[in-house]
Homo-oligomer: A and B are copies of this chain.
Amino acid sequence: MTDSIKVVLDAMGGDYAPAEVVKGGIEALAKSDSLYLYMLGDETAVKVELDKYEYDHSRVSVIHCSETVEMSEPPVQAVMKKKDSSIVKGMLMVHRGEAQAFVSAGSTGAVLVGGQTKVGRLKGVERPPLAPLIPTDNERGCSLLIDCGANVDARPSMLVQFAKMGSIYMESVMGIASPTVGIVNIGAEEEKGNALVKETYPLLKECEDINFIGSIEARDIPSGVADVVVCEAFTGNIILKMYEGVALTLIDKIKAGMMSNLRSKIGALLVKPALKKTLKSFSMEQYGGAPMLGLNGLVVKTHGNSKSVEICNSILQCEQFEKQKINEKIRQRLS
């Protein structure tokens, strides 16, 4: 097992934990021979779930944690105090090199705080960004939105690092050659933007190791105008949340519209299967979770409502990350 990739699973994190988390872990084991999983959480609860499946027992360890970080807890205090929680214990295992990656569907705040304080930053990284994959309507199918983390008011040099780390990720993990990089702005012209964008733009233009295409408007993000969408976390959060909010509201409206009379109800029955398939291809859940980049290891935050398929994809994403030696590439490019 020397070559195996060791991933820590936060078995207690998420709306459907531990059942769906454990299930996702088992699914990942079936898909990859080189995985080893640490499942952290309430030992009894985790084992009840594990007993439902047949799997290679030599590739799973359950590590008991007596505490759980709740979604509603203030993250900084939770990470400081709950030393025997799956988040803190799991992150420290990555920090010590006992595992290469940590996957959690738990509290985003606690994962972000833990990533920074427990796993720790790679040397030279100013701020580790949280970078979700967002669905796009092009042949690639997704873009990387970097940063959506908890720390706002970034400096230009941080955005340059985001652009580089994001490019490495999209190239190595998603297999996109020379991914395009755009900075989110309120117009396409170089002179437009707020102080941060105006300062960052020329720095990005100078970078020879990224494929910078200039400013991009929010309107063009869903059509996939850039593979790496660079912005500071406040803006990134708004982009991500608008994605979810507009899509949910619109789909609700469409459903209501289809149910408005008998004719449309019959039509709805006929279009439903095709529509379901289409909307699935444009949902946030289709990819794995959001990687937190620039850490001494990998931390992946999946949606709070993750089912096994997303957990499984997140674990396989960690394997790809490790195999592609992303952190080595980040170290080289940022130095």
Residues of B within 8 A of A274 (CB): 257-258, 260-261, 263-264, 267
Report the bound CA distance from A120 to B196 in whole Å.
Answer: 28
Interface SS of A by simple majority: helix
Question: Contact at B234–A220, with CB atoms within 8 Å?
Answer: no
Q: Please tell me if A52 contacts chain B, counting CB pairs below 8 Å.
A: no
Q: Please tell me if A9 contacts chain B, counting CB pairs below 8 Å.
A: no
Partner of A257, one of B250, B258, B271: B271
Closest partner residue, chain B, to A270 (CB atom): B267
Interface residues of A in 224-249 (CB under 8 A from B): 233-235, 237-249
Q: List 21 A-B residue pairs with CB atoms under 8 Å apart, sorted by A's residue number.
A: A136-B249, A137-B252, A152-B186, A186-B233, A193-B234, A218-B240, A218-B242, A219-B242, A219-B244, A219-B245, A238-B238, A238-B242, A249-B282, A250-B250, A254-B275, A254-B279, A258-B275, A264-B275, A267-B267, A267-B270, A268-B270
Q: Please tell me if A253 contacts chain B, counting CB pairs below 8 Å.
A: yes
Q: Please tell me if A33 contacts chain B, counting CB pairs below 8 Å.
A: no
Residues of B within 8 A of A234 (CB): 186, 193-194, 235
Residues of B within 8 A of A245 (CB): 218-223
Residue among A137, A245, A271 with max Cβ neighbours from chain B (10 Å) = A271
Residues of B within 8 A of A266 (CB): 267, 270
Residues of B within 8 A of A137 (CB): 249, 252-253
Question: Within the complex, what minimum Cβ distance (angstroms) separates A158 from chain B?
Answer: 14
Report the bound CA distance from A274 to B264 in whole Å.
Answer: 6
Residues of B within 8 A of A279 (CB): 253-254, 257
Partner of A249, one of B222, B237, B242, B249: B222
Question: Contact at B244–A247, with CB atoms within 8 Å?
Answer: no
Question: Contact at A152–B193, with CB atoms within 8 Å?
Answer: yes
Residue among A193, A219, A261 with max Cβ neighbours from chain B (10 Å) = A219
Interface string of A174-214 (1 = CB under 8 A from B): 00000000001010000001110000000000000000000
Question: Contact at A270–B264, with CB atoms within 8 Å?
Answer: yes
Question: Contact at A257–B238, with CB atoms within 8 Å?
Answer: no
Closest partner residue, chain B, to A148 (CB atom): B186
Question: Contact at B241–A194, with CB atoms within 8 Å?
Answer: no
Question: Contact at A238–B218, with CB atoms within 8 Å?
Answer: yes
Closest partner residue, chain B, to A269 (CB atom): B267
Question: Contact at A242–B246, with CB atoms within 8 Å?
Answer: yes
Q: Please tell me if A30 contacts chain B, counting CB pairs below 8 Å.
A: no
Q: Please tell me if A57 contacts chain B, counting CB pairs below 8 Å.
A: no
Question: Contact at A253–B267, with CB atoms within 8 Å?
Answer: no
Question: Contact at A152–B194, with CB atoms within 8 Å?
Answer: yes
Question: Contact at A223–B243, with CB atoms within 8 Å?
Answer: no
Q: Please tell me if A45 contacts chain B, counting CB pairs below 8 Å.
A: no
Interface string of A34-48 (1 = CB under 8 A from B): 000000000000000
